Amino acid sequence: MSDTTSSYGNNQNPHSRVRIPHLQQMKVLGQKWAMLTAYDMYAASIFEEAGIPVLLVGDSASNNVFGHESTLPVTVDELLPLVRAVSRTTRRPLVIADLPFGSYQATPEQCFHTAVRFMKEGGAHAVKIEGDMEILPQVALLARSGIPVMAHIGFTPQAEHQLGGYRVQGRGQEAHRLIESARAFEAAGAFALLIEMVPDEVAAQITAAVSIPTVGIGAGVGCDAQVLVWQDMAGLRTGHLPRFVKQYADLRGVLLGAARDFADDVQTGKFPGPEHAFPLDRAQEKNHR
């Protein structure tokens, strides 16, 4: 269902940019919201029309656009044009650029310079970085510099080799530590937290412990917002899906059917028909249709 009239917090104008205070106000009002990844013009403009207030140009482009097996290989130079496409073609959603592996971990200064590229060259309105307490100085420097930063905690795919694969984080003793990290990120100036693959009770405790919005993926219903990778949500991806994915469409089936029908029509000479061709005499164009 199209939802171009949604208001977010006190943002009553359906055409003006969603901004961080709107997200914060929604937390206060208890209004939940949805975030999707987007990597190109068409997906971004469809999600904007659907009323999605926040779009993430995720490093998951590594898997979902560039065909890698993990998020590790994608580079700043590969992600920048995708961020530019999404920010250029949308008016309303807040566009967050994901900083890829190796582009921010070394020092706060490295992080600052990468974030500035995504804001200046990509037109992003905010950035996201993954990690735990070790990236606190990065978050603090960005926040001091006027760069809104979302901290991605829990399972952090860029550290999959260190974490031993895709594993739920924050179970047992770790829960307390994760809640403390969340508090520290808020204190350092993060505008939001993305919480990935954490038990729902722990994510709900984090959500209650901080006044900034939490966005969950595999973190249960207690978060302030939810995010999915759009190809997962729309059923473009095949094979094994993580437990936290819900498919809302069978886009792969639709595209497959369309591509097969096209190929059949070409083989059988049904396409192009006269209505798709250009007659010698322009006056006959109408009769051609």
Residue least distant from ligand KIV (Cβ): 58
Nearer to ligand KIV, 119 or 217 (CB): 217
Round to whole Å and give the CA distance between 176 and 173.
6
Which residue is catalytic, options 109, 196, 201, 275? 196
Whether omega before 14 lies within 30 degrees of 0, making that bond cis, reads no
Q: Which stretch binds ligand KIV (CB under 6 A): 56-64, 100-108, 238-246, 270-278?
A: 56-64
Residue 176: strand, helix, or coil: helix
Residue 125: strand, helix, or coil: coil
Q: Which stretch binds ligand KIV (CB under 6 A): 52-60, 72-80, 166-174, 279-287?
A: 52-60
Binding residues among 230-289 for ligand KIV as defined by CB under 6 A? none
Site string for ligand KIV, 87-126 (x = CB under 6 A): -----------x----------------------------
224 binds ligand KIV (CB under 6 A): no
Q: Which of 48, 186, 196, 224 binds ligand KIV (CB under 6 A)?
A: 196
227 binds ligand KIV (CB under 6 A): yes
Round to whole Å and give the CA distance between 44 and 52.
9
178 binds ligand KIV (CB under 6 A): no
Q: Which of 9, 58, 154, 216 binds ligand KIV (CB under 6 A)?
A: 58
Q: Is 196 one of the catalytic residues?
A: yes
Q: Are residues 111 and 104 in contact, defined by beta-carbon separation less than 8 angstroms?
A: yes
59 binds ligand KIV (CB under 6 A): yes
Query: Which segments of the chain does DSSP mark as H helices, in order?
Result: 20-29, 41-49, 61-64, 76-88, 108-120, 136-144, 160-163, 174-188, 200-209, 230-233, 251-267, 285-288
Measured torsion, CA atoms of residues 70, 71, 72, 75, in degrees rounded to the nearest 10: 140
Characterize the bridge pairing of strands 126-130 and 225-228.
Answer: unpaired
Q: Which residues bind ligand KIV (CB under 6 A)?
A: 37, 56, 58-60, 98, 152, 196, 217, 227, 229
Q: Which residues are catalytic?
A: 196
